[in-house]
Chains A and B, each alone.
Chain A
Amino acid sequence: MNYGDEVLFEINDSIGILTLNHPPENYLALPEFIPVTIFREWTKNDTLKGLIIKGEGKSFCAGGNLEHIFSAGEKGLSLQSLMADGLELLRYIQSLEIPVIAAINRVCFGGGLEIALACHFRVASENALLAFPEVNRNLMPGMGGTFRLPATIGLFESARMILGGDMINAVEAKELGILDYVVPKDKAFEFSWNLMQKMTHDRPVKVIRYIMKALKNSIELSPEEAMKEETNLFCELARDESIRRKKEDGHTVDY
């Protein structure tokens, strides 16, 4: 499953792998780098347990190809709707009820960083560089960076990064809380794959989705509502005999 030759998608051992395929720096032709309708079809798969987003070659993604995006705007496509489509795609990625990991090697700028911020985990190699360089061209992040970054690291550090437009390295980004893991040079995908295996390999899809749903509820619903839903989800899992696991010796199991 591919979208032109810009984006590649494969499912390996129940894990989806989405590759931004415009090396060397994997610039995005459009904010909606893959039509959300197509991506919905790819991910509408009851056996899918996780998703990893990576860049082809050495880098993750250097962001949007501004010339291309602006010229698309001049050709009559409204820039506003192009941006809205990009936002909707990232919102969809964030809302997936399977874990989504961004595997970041080397360059991760602008729109690339916005894709990464929409993922649930960010794993970066120690030689990764992150930035919101838009301000250097008198622009600003347009695909959720201005609200996902503050939600991740707070207003003050976000302002410094977005207004400054400077690059930060992986270690700095980890300290700020943008990254979850920093791994050896160019090993972001390998580490992400192993992390995904540890989280999903022995779990039925239902358990993964219910846990994701409960976590989403804790962010989106009121504490009262989230609490009620959590009990419902727990009871549904507990009642599902088909996935029930007992200790073989028949001893009482606590937890």
Chain B
Amino acid sequence: MAIRWTIEEGIGRLMMDQPPSNTMTMQFFNEFRHWIDIVLYETGLKAIIIHGNGRHFSSGADLNELLFNLDRQIMVENYRSFTMLEQLGIPVISSIRGVCLGSAFELALFSNFRICADDAVLGLPEATFNLMPGIGGIQRTAALAGKSKALEIILRGLTFSASDALAMGLVDAVVPKRNALPVALNFARALPEKMMKGHRDIYLKKFLNPLNVSE
């Protein structure tokens, strides 16, 4: 299994489970699509945390496998499964450590909140392989960091540190690496039951800042 899914006290944890780098294989995307269909009907779920097993969030899609098996319809369905994270109506928090690149960064961009360890390396390096981000990275980065910053990141295929990501508005908080998951869990517990759209900043101020994380 590429995904481990557990629920404890109403907090669901989706762990990408192909260490060390938790590469997003075809199997991962298949399981993710299946998972989102199940979670849609899960009752009593208060929040979801996405993280990676071990030191890394994920190094992104397995490019060789993806290019070898390229299928437009599956790409469309993968994309849709990412956007469905927003339809769940509960907060989705990505807890990011180590590498978080390409499609993995795109997945994190579809979460409502991104708590980032200080050792993280994030980015969209697709252009350095003469490709482009394919699952919403362009739109999401533009919305968060601005059009020109997004264009520069994507054309250059840049990777950047957690603190740079924070400065660009691409993550919400940077914490010491050991705290990335505990802070995400405490934040999830503190959040109210219903996630109201358009109140991100209020949630961050009210429920994340008191956990003593630097803004």
Contact = CB atoms under 8 A, between A and B. Distances in A.
A135 interface: no
B63 A199 contact: no
A211 B156 CA distance: 11
Measured as residues with beta carbon below 8 angstroms from the partner, the interface class of chain A is: 35 or more
Interface in B121-154: 125-136, 138-139, 142-143, 146-152, 154
Of the candidates B65, B131, B142, the one having the most CB atoms from chain A within 10 angstroms of its own CB is B131
Contacts of A207: 127, 130-132
Contact of B148 (A121, A226, A244, A252): A121
Interface in B91-133: 101-103, 125-133
B169 to A, nearest CB: 12
Main secondary structure on chain A at its contact with chain B? Answer: helix
A139 interface: no
Given A203-B127, A207-B130, A195 B62 contact: no
A231 B134 contact: yes
Contact of A234 (B64, B134, B154): B134
A210 to B, nearest CB: 6
Given A180-B149, A198-B156, A234 B75 contact: yes
B155 interface: yes
Of the candidates B23, B142, B146, B151, the one having the most CB atoms from chain A within 10 angstroms of its own CB is B151
B67 interface: yes
Given A120-B151, A121-B148, A215-B150, A255 B59 contact: yes
A44 interface: no
Contacts of A75: none
Contacts of B129: 245, 253, 255
A36 to B, nearest CB: 23
A15 to B, nearest CB: 13
Contact of A231 (B72, B128, B154): B72
B62 to A, nearest CB: 6
Interface of B: 21, 23-24, 59-67, 70, 72, 75-76, 79, 83, 101-103, 125-136, 138-139, 142-143, 146-152, 154-156
